[in-house]
């Protein structure tokens, strides 16, 4: 076959295979037999092998997986992928409805979706072509898994419209695929996956795409992250639009007129969820109106316009064989129940936290008891209660120790606390746990430096504080178990990369008592450098919104310690970045009156600057930028081809600027 005929045949085969794949994997309406589909695919593979320059990254043949990857690149989400708040009862749902109606001062409708138990991903398309896929990660930063996502056959490589769009969905492993995979693992003598969610996540994080291609993963898309389309004004409408573009959406999604209809929908799935061919762990409820979503906004962790109803936790009975003690990074001694292994909500549970001595007494827990176990929120195992009627008389009482199980220092109970605490700053357990916290995802995020590696480093005396992590050498790391040349090289690169982190990552990683990730960012944004924070007084700290007296006192006390001053100086010498790199807070004295305390909406195409730059400029001058026009909008900036937002702004009497006016005001 000459090249001209090959081009024609390749184009025809690709068109056929995409159409057949869409009907089979998305619509569940096969048009041809598996044998016929495979025959056409093999023909296309041979033609692309014969004419390799004709192969494209959007060909159906990429579904079989390419060459192994060296590692996954980090991806910054332009719009964060936030987690959802949880509801566990009908009262929780009614409270959510009440908060929503108070927030928008109106009634609203909801969209209900099955909460698929898988891995959240972001898919980006340019002119209708799939260009990048990423994991959710920590919500702000994920991993580029584009190559593996191309093997998921229900993800379209080319959309039915040439649009620029970012969409979000949940990749999952169907129950049948999970069972088949675990049967194969068992036959090969390998450890089985605990549940379909872990199997899906593990498959997408394979560096060899061919392995991911064999796992028969699937996806449901559930939202639009970014799109330049003012015509879509409701979430349910957005789901329908995704379906028209060729995405697979869940047929069980329902639009509900009231919270009572939502509750009926939720209750209908409590019993029948087991009949689905995939796992779900709840129902997601979203305010349907996109303008209302914009008006309600977000907390630091989750949207105010959505909530996840979690199904009642499965409860099982097992035996409590013993109680183990562990010391955390703050010195708190926590008892943990050691259980006879039992399957709960898809995983095998061997341990459950008992929290503190008071809880053990309150529930009258004895070693040897038969106990009821559940997973709180389907995640954290806990002891619900003791089955005292099953006691034989051989059970043993448990008493908390008087001295630290790690360093033998006397334990204390601080005023107002129920926990026993080791206050020895040299306690090995606290140092080890502090190191684990420092490298964790929300702190410095050192990829490849997990608990087991930290434990080895500590046991070998290679690290005693967080500064030592930045002094590690190749030869030292090669002495650790399961650390070869490539692993060591990757780890050293990961450690070096975190030197450039913004200040809030370091502040959270240092483990200052009462300072969580959100407070760390607030402090970093306000003071901008660690030097200024070190010099801050109690009064300066409590004057900051969201910084209370306990936290302020803790921060002052922390930085007064000589050893902390030495640690900060050591980190500085090692080249660690000690300044805030994020967007700055606007200075009230320099805020322009044209922007201060005003709400702006940008619509249409801007010629002189992109929307992100315009948004940053407006916010730096004290303004707020939202995505939808409402009664609270002060100014609409209308670029070329402004659509429905302009019409709505004119109807509401909102002030309208063109781009020239915006630029003039910004340059004043």
Q: What is the CA radius of gyration of the chain?
A: 28
Burial 107-118, CB ≥16 within 10 A → b, else e: ebbbbbbbbbbb
Classify 435 as helix, strand or coil.
Answer: helix
What is the pLDDT, as a whole number, of residue 152?
93
Residue 524, judged by CB atoms within 10 A of its CB (0-12, 13-18, 19+), counts as buried
Of the pLDDT bands very low, low, confident and very high (cuts 50, 70, 90), residue 387 is very high
Residue 360, CA distances (Å) to 356, 380, 382, 419, 545 in order: 7, 17, 12, 12, 38
206, 181 Cβ separation under 8 angstroms? no
Looking at residues 593-597, what average pLDDT do you find? 74
600-652: pLDDT as tens digits = 888 887 888 777 778 878 877 778 887 778 888 899 998 887 777 888 888 88
In whole angstroms, give the CA distance from residue 580 to residue 527.
Answer: 8
Residue 149, CA distances (Å) to 63, 70, 171, 196, 217 in order: 9, 16, 9, 17, 9
Q: How far apart are the first and last CA of the chain?
A: 67
631 assigned to active site: no
What is the pLDDT, as a whole number, of residue 167?
96
Domains of the chain in sequence order: 3-64 (1.10.287.610), 86-310 (3.30.470.30), 315-412 (2.40.50.140), 428-573 (1.10.150.20), 588-666 (3.40.50.10190)
More confident residue, 274 or 470: 470
In whole angstroms, give the CA distance from residue 382 to residue 353.
Answer: 6
What is the pLDDT, as a whole number, of residue 378?
58
Looking at residues 132-150, what average pLDDT do you find? 90
What is the pLDDT, as a whole number, of residue 48?
87
**Which value, to the nearest 10 degrees, does the dihedral of the CA atoms of residues 130, 220, 152, 215 take?**
160
Of the pLDDT bands very low, low, confident and very high (cuts 50, 70, 90), residue 406 is very high
In whole angstroms, give the CA distance from residue 286 to residue 110.
Answer: 5
In whole angstroms, give the CA distance from residue 276 to residue 634.
Answer: 48
Q: Which of 115, 366, 375, 521 is catalytic?
A: 115
Which has the minimum average pLDDT: 77-91, 169-183, 353-367, 625-639?
A: 625-639
In whole angstroms, give the CA distance from residue 252 to residue 260.
Answer: 18
Residue 481: CA count within 13 A, CB half-sphere: 8
Beta bridge partners of 339: 320
103, 140 Cβ separation under 8 angstroms? no
What is the pLDDT, as a whole number, of residue 591?
58
Residue 389, CA distances (Å) to 18, 246, 371, 385, 401 in order: 62, 58, 11, 12, 28
pLDDT above 70 covers a percentage of the chain that reads 96
Looking at residues 295-314, what average pLDDT do you find? 86
In whole angstroms, give the CA distance from residue 220 to residue 19.
Answer: 18
Nearest to 284 by CA among 108, 87, 114, 167: 114
More confident residue, 631 or 307: 307
In whole angstroms, give the CA distance from residue 518 to residue 301.
Answer: 9
More confident residue, 370 or 632: 370
Longest CA–CA separation in the chain, Å: 87
502-561: pLDDT as tens digits = 999 999 999 998 898 888 988 998 899 999 999 999 999 988 877 888 899 999 999 999
Looking at residues 581-610, what average pLDDT do you find? 74
Phi, psi of 603 (to 5 degrees): -145, 155
What is the pLDDT, as a whole number, of residue 98?
95
Looking at residues 47-64, what average pLDDT do you find? 83
What is the pLDDT, as a whole number, of residue 588?
53
- CA-based torsion, 229, 234, 239, 241: positive or negative: negative
What is the pLDDT, as a whole number, of residue 585?
64
Per 3-state DSSP, the chain is made up of helix, strand and coil in percentages (nearest 5) of 40, 20, 40
Which has the minimum average pLDDT: 63-72, 170-179, 340-349?
A: 63-72
175-226: pLDDT as tens digits = 999 999 988 888 887 777 878 888 898 889 888 888 888 889 999 999 999 8
Looking at residues 366-389, what average pLDDT do you find? 87
Beta bridge partners of 347: 344
In whole angstroms, give the CA distance from residue 576 to residue 322.
Answer: 44
Residue 592 has pLDDT above 60, yes or no: no
196, 173 Cβ separation under 8 angstroms? yes
In whole angstroms, give the CA distance from residue 237 to residue 241.
Answer: 6
Q: Mean pLDDT, the chain, as a whole number?
A: 89
110-123: pLDDT as tens digits = 999 999 999 999 99
Which DSSP string corresponds to 276-321?
SSS-EEEEEEEESBHHHHHHH-B-SSSBTTEEEEEPPPPEEEEEEE
Which DSSP string corresponds to 516-556?
-HHHHHHHHHHH-BHHHHHT--HHHHHTSTT--HHHHHHHH
Conformation bin of residue 270: beta by default, left when phi > 0, alpha when psi is -120 to 50 = alpha
Looking at residues 257-286, what average pLDDT do you find? 93
Nearest to 199 by CA among 213, 183, 215, 186: 215
What is the pLDDT, as a whole number, of residue 376?
67
- Angle subtended by helix axes 659-666 and 611-620, to nearest 10: 40
Which has the minimum average pLDDT: 22-26, 174-178, 563-567?
A: 22-26
Looking at residues 25-42, what average pLDDT do you find? 82
Nearest to 430 by CA among 323, 333, 315: 333
Residue 324 has pLDDT above 60, yes or no: yes
H or E element that contains 638: strand 635-638
In whole angstroms, give the CA distance from residue 196 to residue 119.
Answer: 10
Which has the minimum average pLDDT: 51-65, 134-148, 391-405?
A: 51-65
What is the pLDDT, as a whole number, of residue 321?
96
What is the pLDDT, as a whole number, of residue 644?
75
């Amino acid at each position: 076959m000459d090249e001209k005929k090959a081009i024609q045949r390749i184009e025809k085969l690709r068109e056929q295979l995409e159409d057949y794949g869409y009907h089979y994997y998305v619509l569940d309406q096969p048009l041809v037999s598996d044998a016929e589909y495979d025959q056409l695919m093999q023909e296309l593979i041979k033609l692309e092998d014969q004419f390799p320059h004709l192969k494209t990254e959007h060909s159906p043949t990429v579904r079989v997986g390419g060459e192994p990857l060296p590692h996954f690149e980090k991806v910054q989400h332009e719009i964060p992928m936030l987690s959802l708040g949880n509801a566990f009862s009908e009262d929780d749902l009614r409270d959510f409805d009440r908060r929503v109606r108070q927030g928008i001062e109106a009634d609203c409708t909801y969209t209900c979706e099955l909460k698929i138990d898988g891995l959240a991903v972001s898919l980006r398309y340019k002119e209708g072509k799939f260009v990048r896929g990423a994991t959710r990660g920590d919500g702000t930063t994920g991993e580029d898994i584009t190559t593996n996502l191309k093997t998921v056959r229900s993800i379209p490589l080319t959309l039915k419209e040439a649009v620029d769009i970012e969409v979000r969905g949940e990749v999952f492993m169907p129950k049948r695929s999970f069972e088949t995979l675990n049967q194969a693992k068992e036959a090969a003598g390998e450890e089985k996956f605990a549940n379909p969610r872990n199997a899906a996540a593990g498959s997408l994080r394979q560096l060899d795409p061919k392995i991911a291609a064999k796992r028969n993963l699937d996806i449901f898309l559930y939202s639009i992250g970014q799109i330049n389309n003012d015509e879509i004004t409701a979430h349910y409408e957005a789901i329908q639009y995704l379906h028209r573009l060729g995405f697979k959406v869940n047929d069980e999604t329902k639009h509900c007129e009231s919270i009572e209809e939502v509750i009926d929908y939720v209750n209908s799935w409590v019993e029948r969820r087991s009949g689905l061919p995939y796992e779900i762990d709840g129902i997601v409820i979203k305010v349907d109106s996109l303008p209302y979503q914009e008006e309600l906004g977000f907390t630091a962790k989750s949207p105010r316009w959505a909530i996840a109803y979690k199904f009642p936790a499965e409860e099982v009975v097992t035996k409590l064989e013993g109680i183990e003690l562990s010391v955390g990074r703050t010195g708190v001694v926590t008892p943990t129940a050691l259980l006879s292994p039992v399957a709960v909500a898809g995983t095998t549970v061997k341990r459950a936290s008992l929290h503190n001595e008071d809880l053990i007494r309150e529930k009258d827990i004895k070693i040897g008891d038969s106990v009821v176990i559940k997973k709180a929120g389907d995640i954290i195992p806990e002891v619900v209660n003791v089955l005292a009627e099953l006691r034989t008389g051989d059970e043993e009482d448990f008493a908390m120790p008087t001295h630290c199980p790690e360093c033998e220092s006397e334990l204390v109970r601080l005023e107002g606390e129920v926990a026993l605490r080791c206050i020895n700053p040299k306690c090995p357990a606290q140092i080890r746990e502090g190191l684990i916290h420092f490298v964790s995802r929300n702190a410095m995020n050192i990829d490849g430096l997990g608990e087991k590696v930290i434990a080895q480093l500590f046991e070998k005396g290679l690290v005693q504080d967080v500064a030592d992590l930045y002094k590690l050498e190749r030869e030292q790391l090669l002495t650790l178990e399961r650390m070869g040349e490539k692993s060591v090289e990757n780890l050293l690169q990961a450690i070096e990369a975190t030197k450039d982190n913004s200040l809030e990552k370091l502040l959270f990683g240092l483990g200052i008592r009462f300072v969580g990730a959100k407070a760390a960012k607030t402090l970093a944004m306000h003071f901008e450098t660690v030097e200024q924070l070190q010099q801050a007084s109690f009064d300066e700290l409590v004057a900051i919104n969201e910084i209370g007296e306990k936290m302020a006192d803790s921060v002052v006390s922390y930085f007064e310690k000589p050893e902390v001053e030495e640690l900060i100086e050591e980190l500085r010498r090692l080249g660690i970045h000690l300044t805030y790199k994020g967007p700055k807070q606007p200075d009230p004295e320099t805020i322009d009156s044209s922007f201060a305390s005003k709400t702006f909406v940008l619509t249409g195409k801007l010629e002189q600057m992109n929307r992100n730059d315009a948004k940053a400029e407006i916010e730096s001058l004290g303004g707020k930028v939202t995505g939808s026009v409402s009664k609270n909008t002060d100014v609409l900036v209308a670029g070329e081809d402004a659509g429905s937002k302009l019409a709505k702004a004119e109807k509401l009497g909102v002030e309208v600027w063109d781009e020239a006016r915006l630029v003039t005001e910004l340059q004043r």
